[in-house]
Homo-oligomer: A and B are copies of this chain.
Amino acid sequence: MGTKELKKVVRRPRLSEAICLALEGRIARGELKPGERLPAEKVLGEAFGVSRAVVREAVARLKADGRVETRQGAGAFVSRVPKCLNFRFWQGDSPAPDELREIFELRAMIESSIAELAARRRLPEDLVVMRRSLLAMDDALANGNDGSEADDDFHLATAAATHNGYAHRLLEFMGRRFSDSRRLAWTLPGRTGDLPQAAQVEHRAIYAAIAAGDAERARCEAHAHLRCAALRVGIVLSDDLISESAGDFA
């Protein structure tokens, strides 16, 4: 056992984070409704057994999220129209299986649209970047290394080929949410070759379609990739997600 496995130190959660999560939970469960006033800071401090400063920091976090609004002298209120300044995936460590299926479906929809547009808009330099990440993954496969970063890079390069910054950012955001499990697939002892190898075949198919400017095929290949990615974690996406013409490629 080398020193690499000793990297992570467990830090106790900050009190303010815990209080923030507890209040979020109450809002999410409908115990605190839109427009409703939260208990006063003093009361919350007593209830949770923490100081008022900790409560205030927790509320500051909720305010940053737009979940709560405060009025000096009046109180803190659950935002009436949840002012979601932010879109978020699951909270906590991992999603429930149903949730994961929905996320994969959404990813399939978005990433296939992105692949389609990339096929129409890709420039030669875009293809260079994509090829570079493919080669990096090949290299990682050949040497038993962690290719998850190159995997991330490939997907980002695809989004960059759309020349739409928001599409790129959305994919970056989504990809980042899954990079831990992606890294696991690349680094799991004894499994290194199987899962990433299959994904790499799919990556190459996506690349080929995009390079050929075949938008419809790029869409279908990206769909197929997400479908297989879901299968690799035990999720079966339903057949109604794709059109019949895509079925020919599956």
A interface residues with partner B (beta carbon < 8 Å): 11, 16, 20, 53, 56-58, 60-65, 71-72, 81, 83-89, 99, 102-103, 105-106, 109-110, 112-114, 116-117, 120-121, 164-167, 169-170, 172-174, 176, 215-216, 240-241, 243
B102 near A165 with CB under 8 A, answer yes
Chain B residues near A53 (CB-CB < 8 A): 53, 56
Known contacts A106-B170, A109-B117; 4 further A-B pairs (Cβ under 8 A): A11-B72, A61-B63, A109-B110, A109-B167
| Distance of A141 from chain B, by nearest CB (Å) | 24
B60 near A170 with CB under 8 A, answer no
In the docked arrangement, what's the CA distance between A84 and B88, Å?
Answer: 9
Which of B63, B120, B172 lies in contact with A240, CB distance below 8 A? B120
| Distance of A237 from chain B, by nearest CB (Å) | 11
In the docked arrangement, what's the CA distance between A173 and B84, Å?
Answer: 6
Chain B residues near A56 (CB-CB < 8 A): 53, 57
